[in-house]
Structure formats: C-alpha cells, structure tokens
Amino acid sequence: MSDKLKDRVAVVTGGSSGIGLGIAKRFAREGAKVAITGRNQAAIDKALKEIGADSIGIQGDVSNLTDLVRIYKTVESKLGKIDTLVVNAGVYVLGSVADLTEEQFDKVSDINFKGAFFSVQKALSALKDGASIILISSMVNGKGVPNHSAYSATKAAVRSLARSFSADLLSRRIRVNTLSPGPIDTPVFSTVASSEAEANAMKEAMGGFTPVKRVGTPDEIAAAAVYLASDDSSFMLGAEILLDGGIREL
C-alpha cells in the first residue's frame, strides 16, 4: 500500500461488516488509525481482528444522539482529532408504497437519514479543520426501483446533505462528498431474505442487472473511499462518486 493515510485518524460508522468493514480494513492498510462503530459488540470485536493494529471499536447506535457524543469523545481521548469521517451506518429496508409500515419507515429514516445528519453534527468539534467527510449513499438515490421508495429517499437525502454540509463547512475547509455504490457483495442480502439460498439468488439477480454482470466488492468501494479521504481529492467537495457497475449510466 502507499501509506496515503499514514497516521491519520479515521472513523467509520457501521464499520463491523460489509462496506464499512471493507473501508476500515483498507484505511488501516494505508496507515490510518481506525475507529469503527456498530450496534453489536461481538461483531465489532470480530471486525477489529480483521482490521488490525491501531484500531478501536465503539458500540453505539447512530440514531441515538447520546451515543454519538460518547463515540466521538472516546475517539478523541484514544486516537486524537479526526481526519476522516465515513458515515456508512445504515439499514436496508424494502417494501412497496402500499405495504411499508410506519415502523419500517421510522427505522430506515432514523438510521439512514437522521443518523447520517447527526453523525456529522456531533462530530464537528472532534474534526480537524481540513478534514474529509464521506457519506455513503446508494445508486438508487437517482433511480426508481420497486420496493425501494423509503430506502431510496433516505439515500437521496444523504446525497443532498453532502452539498449543504460542504457549503456550511467551507470556512473550516472540511470537504463533504458522497460515495454511491450499486449492488455489493455484503451480508445485507441476508437481512431481507428468508434463507441463504434466497439471499444468494437475490445477489445473483442484482448482479445481473449491472452491465458488467456482477456485484461489486467492498474493496472496490474502499479504494474510492481512500481517494476521498486522501489529499488526492483536495479539489473535490459536495460531489458524488458513483460505483454501480454502470446501472445508472448504461
């Protein structure tokens, strides 16, 4: 690796699995000191073994503002001020406009939208001037997909936040950009399937929707995150990197 993030402090919310874990591992390989958050302590402990030295894990819920304050205080006390914040924690909740329940709506909104907003707000005092914030959205933020209405809306909100946050934080030279993946090979499929076979079938079908005829990998997303976290992207703010295998453009 190139040590592009050597000695930098990075926080990845929802970093115990999937895309978040892929980003945390790649950041560590690039020399960063990484803190991950998650709601399940056992999953955090397992992830830390994969991430390696100079990594810490903090249990917490991004939709709980008290947890967020505690998380950032812990990071500051153990690792120092934050150079990069990756707002990745999210849930994948599916349902048609006719069938989605209020409970499901509140869950996806509280974690994906409210959680993203306050993950940034509560981090402001812990962020260095000139820091990079990476918001993880989704390619569905700009495309209509059946059964994705509430989920897609939260991810469109996240995309919008990158623009507004960048404008708000110009005086501190804090850059906020969005990374929008397409279908990625993560455990998320199991959360909306009734069996492993159904999850694998869903993954194969979604890969088939892409022009490249496959799902992406967490490390492919992580490579783009390294770019956004590093000085290579110093002229980029309020923007979006789309990594979806060509679904939205072809």
How far apart CA 230 and CA 248 sit, in angstroms, is 27
Structural tokens at position 112: 């994906």
How far apart CA 34 and CA 82 sit, in angstroms, is 10
151 belongs to the catalytic site? yes
Long-range contacts of 101-110 (CB under 8 A, 24+ apart): 104/150, 105/150, 108/150, 108/151, 108/154, 109/150, 109/154, 110/63
Residue 229: which of 1, 24, 19, 15 has the closest Cα?
24
Structural tokens at position 195: 């069996």
Q: Give the residue numbers marked as catalytic.
A: 151
